Structure 1
Amino acid sequence: MAETRPLNHDEMLAVLDWYRAAGVDVAVGEEPIDRFAQRPPQRVMPVVASANASTEQRPVETLPLGGDPSEARSLAASAKTLDELQTILGSYDGCGLKLRATQLVFADGNPEADIMLIGEAPGAEEDRQGKPFVGKSGQLLDRMLAAIGLDRTKVYIANTVPWRPPGNRTPTPEEMALCLPFLNRQVELVAPKLVMTLGGPAMQTVFSTTAGIIKMRGKWSSVTIGNHTVEAIPTLHPAYLLRNPPAKEQAWADLLALKVKMSSVGLG
């Protein structure tokens, strides 16, 4: 039988790190709570002074379980620059992922670059630093880019979802629907000449397909993201390559295809 003893300081920190990585974001109280008996929160109408109106605040509607995609589309469309879009996303509360994330992970790289890389969602290290692809998979991505003469000054990097899902799970269709208008506007504002998606979920979002990444990777297609039409190619996610090193051969072929396409459109 394992020894029962209080954890020391380092052990407690290790447990907390494990809980965070697993997506635990709330402590359980001593008494059980009947969530089914709880009433949903209510939106309160701001006080508007008028001769015929009461000055009391009153509930006008219950909040939906999720945000409104039409609101997300309207907010995204209102952004005239990437800075405005980042500010709007920072104050947007429609997607529940924001409530569990440490911070917004908007983008990295050169916003004037002709090549845009699109991943799925931030991981734990990205959530801490506020930049995409800065963990182990990001370090591998940097080496992959360097192999064909690129670095983060020559590409623009974003994710389909700008907040880390708890436990690094795949974003739900509802979460994707709320975040997609912001990604679309981000692509419109960057207006890249070439796009490379990283991993299956990003490929399925950008290419509007349910096909698997193994079937689709390495094939160029013309896609329309928002109002921007661009040539795009899917490849494997660096995190997948870390788990499956033999697949690096396929990713290398995709990188070479990107290098050839760059030359064909006058990008070096």
Structure 2
Amino acid sequence: MISAHDLSPAQLAALLAFHADAGVEWLLEEEPVDRFAEFEAMKTARGSARAPSAASQRSEVESGGAPAPRQAPAAPGSTPSREVRAPAPVASTPAVAIPDAQAIEEARFAAGSARSLAELRVAMEGFAGCNLRNSARNLVFAEGDEAGGIMVVGPMPYADDDRDGQPFAGRLGEMLTRMLAGIGLAREQVLLSNVVPWRPPGNRVPTAREADICRPFIERQIALAEPKHLLLLGNFTARFFFGGNDTIHQLRGEWRDLPVGGITVPTLATLHPQDLVTAPMNKRFAWQDLLAFKARIQG
């Protein structure tokens, strides 16, 4: 068994980050607890409560009444105390999931009611129709220059984004910053966002239901920001906006006029920073797409 003393500071930090991402909030009790003794005492207490004496059983049968609660004899000189009764169990009402159609309609209403990105963020913070918000730490909302004319949209928040509450944080954010810098753009000059604003557990791909519920929010973000050019990152994002089942390698590098949120935006899809981290050979394809994006925004 590996002890914490055997780990370097970097390894220990990585282990703690792993536990935090998994939802672990504490590792040890404040005081040692003997769970085996606790369990045995619990069994003994239950057995004593369930085993009435023979005399009491005979008395109950003869009288035809319900069993009387057993009371411990009072100590000499003590004042009898009133009977203590256990509180009646409270019937728990299970959480009722909102039907998909209703959740989508509520999302449309909340998004359509917002007249600015600030109002939209407040509406999304109060929206309870998407199950992802129950497991995510933070709502990851759009960030950057909403008046810069360029919007970059990814699929969903990852662990670093969820922890920091901002899109494209951590290692993937650094990769995106380098991608933008390669065509003369600073991170602060563009508006960054995601299709789904809450991190799915384990970084899994959002379901079709989750995407449909979140669609009104990302479309409203685009409509309010009114970007002149839109850059989509990754397979999920390209399919979400373009439709179909083609892969990002089939959808990338081609300009399309995308009707979204009541406006039409020239849109280009390319690979996500995660694609470049896991398969560095993809960098050459992303670079071709970024050069095409640069030529269009400067033209």
Is the TM-score greater than 0.5?
yes
Distance of aligned partners of 1:26 and 1:92 in 2 relative to their CA distance in 1, 3 Å threshold: farther
Unaligned runs of 5+ in 1: 31-37, 43-61
Displacement of 1:20 after TM fit? 4.4
Residue deviations 1:197-246 (CA, integer Å, cap 9, x gap): 01000111121232110111111111111212111010000011011111
Aligned to 2:18: 18
- Structure with the bigger RCO (C-alpha within 8 Å, sep 6+) is 1
Unaligned runs of 5+ in 2: 27-34, 36-90
Q: Count how many residue pairs are aligned between Structure 1 and Structure 2.
A: 233
Partners of 1:111 and 1:262 lie apart in 2 by 16
Identity of aligned residues (%): 38
Aligned to 2:81: none
Residue deviations 1:41-98 (CA, integer Å, cap 9, x gap): 36xxxxxxxxxxxxxxxxxxx5436561011111100000000000000111111111
Distance of aligned partners of 1:140 and 1:13 in 2 relative to their CA distance in 1, 3 Å threshold: closer
Aligned to 2:57: none
Q: CA RMSD in A?
A: 2.6
Q: Does 1:126 align with 2:161?
A: yes
Letter in 1 for 2:146: P
Letter in 2 for 1:85: L
Greater shift, 62-71 or 174-183, is seen at 62-71
Displacement of 1:13 after TM fit? 7.3
Displacement of 1:154 after TM fit? 1.7
Distance of aligned partners of 1:40 and 1:223 in 2 relative to their CA distance in 1, 3 Å threshold: farther
Aligned to 1:111: 146
Match 1:189 to one of 224, 228, 239 = 224
Match 1:41 to one of 94, 103, 116 = 94
| Counterpart mapping for 1:125-144 below 5 A | 125-144=160-179
Displacement of 1:25 after TM fit? 7.2
| Counterpart mapping for 1:191-206 below 5 A | 191-206=226-241
| Counterpart mapping for 1:76-115 below 5 A | 76-115=111-150
Greater shift, 152-161 or 63-72, is seen at 63-72
Residue deviations 1:76-131 (CA, integer Å, cap 9, x gap): 00000000000000111111111111111001110112110000111111111111
The structure whose residues are more often strand, as a share, is 1
Letter in 1 for 2:159: A
- Larger-Rg structure: 2
Residue deviations 1:5-62 (CA, integer Å, cap 9, x gap): 87679899765533444x55799xx9xxxxxxx98736xxxxxxxxxxxxxxxxxxx5
Match 2:269 to one of 230, 234, 238 = 234
Match 1:64 to one of 72, 77, 98 = 98
Conservation of the 8 A alpha-carbon contact between 2:98 and 2:129: no
Letter in 2 for 1:215: Q
Conservation of the 8 A alpha-carbon contact between 1:241 and 1:247: yes
Q: What is the SS of the residue equivalent to 1:197?
A: strand
Q: What is the SS of the residue equivalent to 1:68?
A: helix
